[in-house]
Amino acid sequence: MYGNALIIIAKYPEKESVKTRLKGLMPDDKRLELYVTLLNQTMQKLGAIPGVDTFIAFAPETAGEYFSRFNVRLIPLQEGDLGAGMFHAFREVFNAGYKKAALVGVDIPDISSLIILDAFDALSGSDLVYGPAKDGGYYLVGMGKLIGEVFRDVPWSSEKTLEKSLHQAGRYGYSVSLTETLNDIDTIDDAKKAGLLK
């Protein structure tokens, strides 16, 4: 076991649950295709980083068989909001004995193993690390111990998500580092710019 755990949070691809901001803006089958492409690309880039154990934290709990194809460890997520899911995934890896953990989603085309390794490096001097997204959210959160406060009272999928998370970190006295800012895929324009749609 390495000391670093990377958690990739993912949903089983079904039209009710993935890329819902694009619902009505593109056909459901195309939306699913986009999500699966992003998932596969993310696993290709981050599934085997030297010195890092990779996990997929997935929902719904019954989708384990689908995600087993990626040959990484799996964490089934219970129902609940995004914050509860992230906290549960972090708790699982820290309980397993990992010293540092980072979590990302699957909708960041420019994510790289280098960014992940930089995040783990940052945790040598900070309690928390965030990867800011251009829309005001974040694409990465990492911590060197289990910290629950940063998942409470945060508006998810909003332009205030990172700001509120940083506020919570400061309020409880945690030190924070930031990685580079990247774009996530929330709109058709985002997908086109990333070369994922023609």
Q: Among 24-28, 49-53, 87-91, 107-111, which is the least confidently predicted range?
A: 24-28
Provide the pLDDT confidence category of residue 97 given band limits of 50, 70 and 90.
Answer: very high
In this structure, what token pair is assigned to residue 98?
Answer: 């990992």
d(CA 34, CA 198): 12
Between these two residues, 35 and 196, which has the higher pLDDT value? 35
- pLDDT, position 99: 97
Q: Where exactly are the structural domains of the chain? A: 4-189
Contact 100, 4 (CB under 8 A): yes
Tell me: the pLDDT tens digits for 133-187? 998 999 999 999 999 999 998 998 888 999 999 999 999 999 999 999 998 767 6
CA gap 121, 116 in Å, rounded: 9
Distance CA 101, CA 8 (A): 11
Nearest to 11 by CA among 49, 42, 46, 53: 42
Binning pLDDT at 50, 70 and 90, where does residue 198 land? low
Q: Is the pLDDT of residue 1 over 70?
A: no
* Top CATH class, 4-189: alpha beta
Instruction: For 12-39, write each residue's pLDDT tens digit.
Output: 988 766 666 666 667 778 888 888 999 9
Strand (E) or helix (H) holding 4: strand 4-11
The average confidence (pLDDT) of the chain is 90
Q: Is residue 197 scored above 90 in pLDDT?
A: no
